[in-house]
Structure 1
Amino acid sequence: MCSAVSIEQDVQQLRDQLNHHNYRYYVLDDPELPDAEYDRLFQRLKQLEAEHPELVTPTSPTQRVGARPASGFTEVQHELPMLSLDNAFEAQDLRDFVRRVQERLGLSSDADIAFACEPKLDGIAVSLLYEDGVLVRAATRGDGTTGEDITQNVRTLRTVPLQLNDGDWPRRLEVRGEIYMPRAGFEALNARQRERDEKTFVNPRNAAAGSLRQLDPRITADRPLEMCSYSTGIVEGGELPASHYETLELLHRWGFRINPEMRLVQGVEGCLEYYEDLAARRDSLAYDIDGIVFKVDDRAQQQQLGFVSRAPRWAIAHKFPAQEEMTRVRAVEFQVGRTGAVTPVARLEPVFVGGVTVSNATLHNMDEIARLGLKVGDSVVVRRAGDVIPQVVRVLPERRDGSETEVGIPASCPVCGSDIERTQLIKRGKGKEAVSQGSIYRCVGRLACQAQLKQAIIHFVSRRAMDIEGLGDKNVDQLVECGLVRSPADLYRLKIADFRGLEGFAELSSSNLYKAIQARREVPLARFIYALGIPEVGDGTARALAQQLGSLERIARALPLVLTWLPDIGLEVAHEIRNFFTDAHNRQVIDELTDLGVKPEQSGELSPALRGSTTLAELLVKLNIPYVAKTGAELLAGHFGSLDALLEADEEQLQSVAKLSKRAREALLGQLEDEDWCREARAVEKQLLEFGMHWSCQSEAAGESSQPLADQTWVLTGTLERMTRDEAKEQLLSLGAKVSGSVSKKTECVVAGPGAGSKLAKAESLGVRVIDEGEFIDLLQQYGISS
């Protein structure tokens, strides 16, 4: 029997371990444990605390969620006001700010001042109070003097330490920061809200605010919120560094997340350079920012500069151009895309937003129009972020005057006049299929519809597909409108004389385009699959199909359930692939391409990772038997040993399966009586055998991966001189690497060419391996790839 002392020691050791791993995962973004091991530790601590409730403390990792819903929020008086910031909108505004700082400090105009720079997160400002290293209160900014007590909600955030690391913190410490919702989390949250038929959020900031003000902290805990610290308030019983930048680094060591984009620069030119760099990368960040905050780094200088009534004189926010503006919807028109999707587009009264004049905005689909409650003539708020297509984010119904009109889907295609049909969605759950209406309407005219034909050809010849140089949008338009091209296969039937009749073509240009088309009869299988334009299949999915299944014939035959064994292919995408290849028209186009000598380069071999990769239990899980999850599938597989034996089982045999629940047994019996289901199960197993994925093929599996860079993340930056960046990316992908646009601690290697900037600097600061183009080419040659 364990003594009370040893149990208490075990509990404390588990808490220390979990706090350490929380810090590694949520603050450093550098986990040391797999999720399963972390969950094991957490469940062990939870069990011990349940058995010994007297050992439970407010700072235990298990206590982040669980408080009862509050009846309301109490007020909190800030001991030090949470001030606003003055804004700069132009470079001159920032120069004027720096000049005023120099004058007030008695410095010359050429004296450089150190500034701490960090992104201005678009979230909710909060204050956290720690006493003896323990979180005792969290409050909103409110009006700067009085906020609301949101302690129970903030305790649910993994990026907020309940107890500080180390032991050199002040006795009382107020940490200030921004609680925000990353874009991916925002999209996922809105998707869940739509599934539940609940109200969606307009933007991540509104979602963060709404999530923080939930009276039930369990709801807050379910929202993807994060916190980033940016300053301190009250400090008693201890000292902080004389540098603002060093103070934030110290907070980081104590357990707080700080923004990885934070920099220390010199003078106004350093500030402007930082602003331009982050403005260029703004849309690639994982979260919304609306500007940059510049703070005088020296705390003594901060005190000397002081405050005005509402803002410090030592800090300023340099705002980005507005990304949301109000305008009016003049009309709603419908465009037809490559797959026949009929998409509504709002024609707007022109408005300047996000640095450009916007007159059109996407409306996505009719469901989005219904969700917005949009009518023609409405006043709306339009959002534009960088190169992202402008979109209508909300309608302002209070501005209506009665002249607005409803928006309806046209009865026929606006391009070819064919019928428009609403897509159907097949939802699968508990062994059943339910058909519902999708959000997309499609023209049924296919390649007879010029809009679809043009887009299909443009996609087919694009750089990531067949990569036929010289066939731009204008030339494709001419070929289609002249009736020379009615399908992708017609491109390979063209003669030099056909081009001479087109605008802008002479003898040489006609000959060059003819040769460019003929030269692209053989391309890698992944490019060919992508070029076909299968709905929902991007170049990443096309590459997975080619690398894993190895041949066009195998891809074309693959059943949807078999396709789901491939990485990142779900059942809905699998059905899109299957539907494409079973369509007679699509098969005809592929056959014509083949007859004309267009042959994808293919290995013909199943990838080593897939050979013998599945198990009977996994097959049973994928067959989606009601109430039979992983554990039940393993019980059935272990008992029967083969699919045939299971499909022939009767009730008595199923009753003999130890630990199989009654509900699972009854559900399985119902499935076994369904001849279609049994036929499908046998067909899937037969194909797994034919492809070599069946568990009986495990002895044939290759022992070594053919992708030496599998699971590694690489980054390309700067200018490459002996190959293009796209070519370098293709080579890395062929070796199994993932190619990212940003550098992190998880990056394996950065290939840096001339002109490499912030990515190279970040790699060097993180100690990430960096090689030049020559070393990269040497590496490729080691793996048998010539440049």
Structure 2
Amino acid sequence: MTDELAESGQEQSAESAANAQSAPSEARERHAELAELLDEANWRYYVLDSPTVSDAEYDGWMREIRALEERHPDLRTPDSPTQRVGAPISSDFPEVTHLQRMESLDNAFSQEDLAAWQARAQRLIEADPGPYLCELKIDGLAVALVYEKGRLVRGATRGNGRTGEDVTPNVRTLRDVPQRLTGDDVPDLVEVRGEVFLPVKGFEQLNEQLMDAGKAPFANPRNSAAGSLRMKDPRITAQRPLRMIVHGVGKWEGTTPPATQSEMYERLASFGLPVSDRYKVVETLDEVREFVEYYNDHRHDPEYEIDGVVVKVDRVPIQRQLGSTSRAPRWAIAYKYPPQEVNTRLLDIQVGVGRTGRVTPFGVMKPVVVSGSTVERATLHNASEVKRKGVLIGDMVVLRKAGDVIPEIVGPVVDLRQGDEREFVMPTHCPECGTELAYEREGDADLRCPNARSCPAQLRERIFFAAGRNAFDIDGLGYVAATALTQPLPPQEPPVRTEADLFDLTIDKLLPIRSVVRDADTGLPKTDPETGEPKVVSFFANMSGEPSKHAELILQQLEEKKDQPLWRVLVALTIRHIGPPTARALADEFRSIDAIAKASEEELAAVEGIGPRVAATIKEWFEVDWHREIIDRWRAAGVRMADESAADEGPRPLEGLTFVVTGTLADFSRDEASEAIAGQGGKVTSSVSKKTSFLVVGDNPGSKYDKAVKAGVPILNEEGFHTLLREGPDAARAAAVTPEE
């Protein structure tokens, strides 16, 4: 559980506090209410390892109680939640007193907060406090280890900062924690502080084991780590893949401690203690911001979960000069990222139908803000996943944005069940066409609607997909338009009953259409918040009944996109397992749709990335009569069904070379860059390896750049990429940036 950034008023002088007016009764009542809420939250989070409120909600309460204390300083008493660190001590373990107080950290939630922290430190010492050490804030359990004469004698949780729980037998089971320190300059006595955590993969495996055993899963890795370290039987702790990273020291006796935080980490590592490999020392606040922003974009790169970045003054003498407040050091601050996990109520579980007929359960929740956006729906993948996660309709659930993009229900908060929750029952028939659901193949995890041709949901999704950026790339034909074309309101008949109708659209067919607006994630109708009625739109005609600009744009794009390369046509056909990479491979090998249709399974399977199973799927697709009708009618409408033959095409200087494109290029979209490479015979893949010929990088290249550097792959910036396309690979190699440079 986190604490809020201490405002400058927290250090208000005793004189001003004495002169402040006594708090009115309503302020005292609200302060008492908030204190009780925070104490209960602390107890559940730190002691029971079963949080019932999200970090965001807790932080909101803490901000409110701090604001009350700023307005009414007489409310700020020693037992206020703002003046305490951590939580009460569990009675399950003996209490121990830390050799030095384990402090909490003040938090920053914006760049302005970060600048204010630096400015306060600068005022106190009348100089720039830098350089700064930046490190990841691991979402784990704070632990202190005590070594005497190099031997581990105690491991304890932080507790309330002064006393913690003695968990020494359990700490000894952690493979990262040495029983004896190594080296010639080991202190006679040293207390090191760090974070015990469960790697994300280990957390997922642990929850699977718990649910297989009929037990409730942990809500998140932090609480699974806390629960695992507090097992009464150390043998159980030993079975769980707990890890630890050390990030500080308390007491140090017998040798001279290092003069900087970064040197401290080097010394601790030399003792055999686990330290992070992701910290960095920088000189300026701008460089601190760059580190913060980088890991905001790459927060899923580490093997553990992080919730921010800790920034510390690197020089230990300056740390001593800055000192601490009643609960936190002035020389360090935690920059907190927007919450990725929040709690909300699961109101219902419904199902949606995708373009391949796959029926996917999704949760309908009380709207909640997570990672900066409001979320009210999240996928649950399939019926077995609902059961595996152990969620019931009516549960309070933990919601997370996977990769900061896709909302995902992590699991239930079992302690908050009220008894009226109910299990989800997977429907037996398609919710949109009524066809009985079935598994396509024995052993499949997903139920599907077998009515592929006529199911309105599948057709809607396929039209939307065919118009997407990886297929025909038709501007204006988004989800609402796809819905209107396939599911107009009566009495209008749908102008698109199958993909074959797509390139036969005319203004006359578009003008009468009115349609219900549907949610792009679930396919369910959206409703007007005031009336509760479905939202209806008619955007193919303007107010006077004339064709709208939107309608004209769609028809113009349909005409222009008929000349897309073969691989895009293959993607648009929605053949199962055929995405852009495999579509490119098929187009490169066979050059025409007819050649692909005539190829044997063995010939198809021989294409790189295809294999026997996908080859069988391709053959099955071309054997369906209404699939062949799509190709015939698109061809009749002028859609290109073949690429140039090898005899007609120009030189292919990039033949045999493999490329990865990453970052944002000024002159090319990612697809345009890939097509430019493929047009000269090169192959574009999604991951860097030693077999990669070149990495093409734009702005913000991310982890692929680092992998290329480690693998010794030549790196082309945008200028080098132009050189490649204009002058060929030899000239590009001369312009490339290599790891040695």
Separation of aligned partners in 2, 1:136 and 1:403: 49
Q: 1:568 to 1:190 in 2, by over 3 A?
A: farther
| 1:463 and 2:469 matched | yes
Superposed displacement of residue 119, structure 1: 1.9
Question: Which residue, out of 396, 403, 426, partners 1:379?
Answer: 396
| 1:717 and 2:736 matched | no
Superposed displacement of residue 462, structure 1: 0.9
Q: Residue type of the partner of 2:342?
A: E
Q: Which residue pairs with 2:167 in the alignment?
A: 148
Superposed displacement of residue 576, structure 1: 5.7
Q: Is the 8 A contact 2:439 2:448 kept in 1?
A: yes
Separation of aligned partners in 2, 1:80 and 1:341: 58
Per-residue Cα deviation, 1:403-440 (whole angstroms, up to 9, x for no partner): 54543333433322x224142664xxxxxxxx4xx443
Q: Which residue pairs with 2:558 in the alignment?
A: 517
Separation of aligned partners in 2, 1:484 and 1:750: 45
Q: Which residue pairs with 2:502 in the alignment?
A: 491
User: SS of the residue aligned with 2:342?
Assistant: strand
Q: Which residue pairs with 1:231 in the alignment?
A: 248
Per-residue Cα deviation, 1:555-611 (whole angstroms, up to 9, x for no partner): 886659985x87777887677666545555545544554565541538899xxxxxx
Separation of aligned partners in 2, 1:745 and 1:244: 36
Equivalences for 1:286-305 in 2 at 5 Å?
A: 287-305=304-322
Q: Which residue pairs with 2:641 in the alignment?
A: 599
State the aligned residue count: 592
Q: Which residue pairs with 1:87 in the alignment?
A: 107
Q: Which residue pairs with 1:15 in the alignment?
A: none
Q: Is the 8 A contact 1:328 1:380 kept in 2?
A: yes
User: SS of the residue aligned with 2:362?
Assistant: strand
Question: Which residue, out of 122, 126, 132, partners 1:115?
Answer: 132
Separation of aligned partners in 1, 2:550 and 2:336: 49
Q: 1:162 to 1:463 in 2, by over 3 A?
A: farther
Separation of aligned partners in 2, 1:444 and 1:81: 65
Per-residue Cα deviation, 1:456-477 (whole angstroms, up to 9, x for no partner): 0111121112223342223323
Q: 1:335 to 1:756 in 2, by over 3 A?
A: closer
Per-residue Cα deviation, 1:168-227 (whole angstroms, up to 9, x for no partner): 766776654434444456556656777898865533334445666679999878866655
Q: Which residue pairs with 1:472 in the alignment?
A: 478
| 1:446 and 2:393 matched | no
Q: 1:708 to 1:194 in 2, by over 3 A?
A: farther
User: SS of the residue aligned with 2:474?
Assistant: coil
| 1:735 and 2:682 matched | yes
Superposed displacement of residue 232, structure 1: 3.8
List alignment gaps of at least 5 residues for structure 2: 1-91, 513-539, 648-652, 733-741
Q: 1:256 to 1:529 in 2, by over 3 A?
A: farther
Aligned sequence identity (%): 36
Superposed displacement of residue 262, structure 1: 2.9
| Root-mean-square deviation (Å) | 5.0
User: SS of the residue aligned with 1:471?
Assistant: coil
Q: Which residue pairs with 2:528 in the alignment?
A: none
User: SS of the residue aligned with 1:316?
Assistant: strand
Superposed displacement of residue 334, structure 1: 2.6
Q: Is the 8 A contact 1:153 1:212 kept in 2?
A: no
Q: Which residue pairs with 1:423 in the alignment?
A: 439
Q: Is the 8 A contact 1:422 1:439 kept in 2?
A: no
Superposed displacement of residue 397, structure 1: 5.1
| 1:359 and 2:376 matched | yes
Separation of aligned partners in 2, 1:568 and 1:146: 54
Q: 1:530 to 1:247 in 2, by over 3 A?
A: farther
Per-residue Cα deviation, 1:6-40 (whole angstroms, up to 9, x for no partner): xxxxxxxxxxxxxxxxxxxxxxxxxxxxxxxxxxx
Question: Which residue, out of 336, 358, 366, partners 1:319?
Answer: 336
Q: Which residue pairs with 1:777 in the alignment?
A: 722
Superposed displacement of residue 290, structure 1: 1.1
Q: 1:503 to 1:99 in 2, by over 3 A?
A: same
Separation of aligned partners in 2, 1:411 and 1:765: 52
Question: Which residue, out of 635, 641, 657, partners 1:708?
Answer: 657
User: SS of the residue aligned with 2:722?
Assistant: helix
Separation of aligned partners in 2, 1:739 and 1:256: 36
Per-residue Cα deviation, 1:356-380 (whole angstroms, up to 9, x for no partner): 3333333333333334444443333
User: SS of the residue aligned with 1:202?
Assistant: coil
Q: Residue type of the partner of 2:666?
A: L
Structure (1/2) with the larger helix percentage: 1
Q: Is the 8 A contact 2:695 2:705 kept in 1?
A: no
Per-residue Cα deviation, 1:318-352 (whole angstroms, up to 9, x for no partner): 32233333332333333222122222333322333
Q: For structure 1, which segment, 338-347 or 373-382, has the greater mean C-alpha deviation from structure 2 after superposition? A: 373-382
Question: Which residue, out of 391, 400, 412, partners 2:429?
Answer: 412
Q: Is the 8 A contact 2:342 2:398 kept in 1?
A: yes
User: SS of the residue aligned with 1:490?
Assistant: helix
Q: 1:724 to 1:291 in 2, by over 3 A?
A: same
Q: Which residue pairs with 1:685 in the alignment?
A: none
Separation of aligned partners in 1, 2:454 and 2:116: 62
Q: For structure 1, which segment, 215-224 or 478-487, has the greater mean C-alpha deviation from structure 2 after superposition? A: 215-224
Separation of aligned partners in 2, 1:300 and 1:484: 76
Separation of aligned partners in 1, 2:180 and 2:499: 63
Equivalences for 1:538-553 in 2 at 5 Å?
A: 538-543=579-584, 553=595
Q: For structure 1, which segment, 452-461 or 202-211, has the greater mean C-alpha deviation from structure 2 after superposition? A: 202-211
Q: 1:298 to 1:567 in 2, by over 3 A?
A: farther
Separation of aligned partners in 2, 1:189 and 1:571: 35
